[in-house]
A and B are shown apart, each in its own frame.
Chain A
Amino acid sequence: DSGVTQTPKHLITATGQRVTLRCSPRSGDLSVYWYQQSLDQGLQFLIQYYNGEERAKGNILERFSAQQFPDLHSELNLSSLELGDSALYFCASSARGEKYNGYTFGSGTRLTVV
């Protein structure tokens, strides 16, 4: 157990639908990162939050959005889903400053769009 919890582990949904993926960071970590991993695109950085504020954006589509709540858990919302959105979605968390030691990843949510 890495300490980063992602739910659900698996999700199957239809095209055009909307889903929400949830992430609870490791205790004490204020930064949360979302990544998409697919066979053809590899590991793609989507977005980062730090203590509730958006800090960095990567290759995140306009149909996707995220937020980090006061209790530091984060949600990634994917809407108007397309077949190409099928992928593994990972959340990671990290500490900052002297406590920084890279990322701790969750085990991911496997999204299948049919």
Chain B
Amino acid sequence: GDSVTQMEGPVTLSEEAFLTINCTYTATGYPSLFWYVQYPGEGLQLLLKATKADDKGSNKGFEATYRKETTSFHLEKGSVQVSDSAVYFCAYSGGGADGLTFGKGTHLIIQP
């Protein structure tokens, strides 16, 4: 069935390090892809999205490119900050449907 696989955490980095959080999906059709972020004690917030192949979503220094050939949507940031510490969820929605399938989340810890 359809699913989303994320790298398991926690991922611990030092401030200003380069970040990659891997996400791959298994889905039929042409899904839209999303990254959500959950800061401590809060709900999930949409971080970025891409709706078709080769699209790049970007926000707050984070980027992710929709790679249909590898069914991936890896999240990257060139220089992380302590304030980026959060849980990051990859998700997709099937073409024409409005349901989201979430990955299990990756806990990111940035140390000063």
Instruction: Show the binding face of A for B, using Cβ within 8 Å.
Output: 2, 4, 31, 33, 42-43, 45, 48, 56, 90, 92, 94, 96, 100-108
Contacts and interface: CB of A to CB of B under 8 A. Distances in A.
B42 A96 contact: no
A58 B32 CA distance: 21
Contacts of B73: none
A108 B49 contact: no
B88 to A, nearest CB: 12
Interface residues of B, number: 18
A32 to B, nearest CB: 11
B62 interface: no
B43 A43 contact: no
A15 B83 CA distance: 38
Contacts of B67: none
B102 A43 contact: yes
Q: Which of A31, A43, A105, A107 has the most CB of B within 10 A?
A: A43
Nearest to A43: B102
A2 B43 contact: yes
Interface stretch (B11-19, B22-30, B74-82, B93-101): B93-101
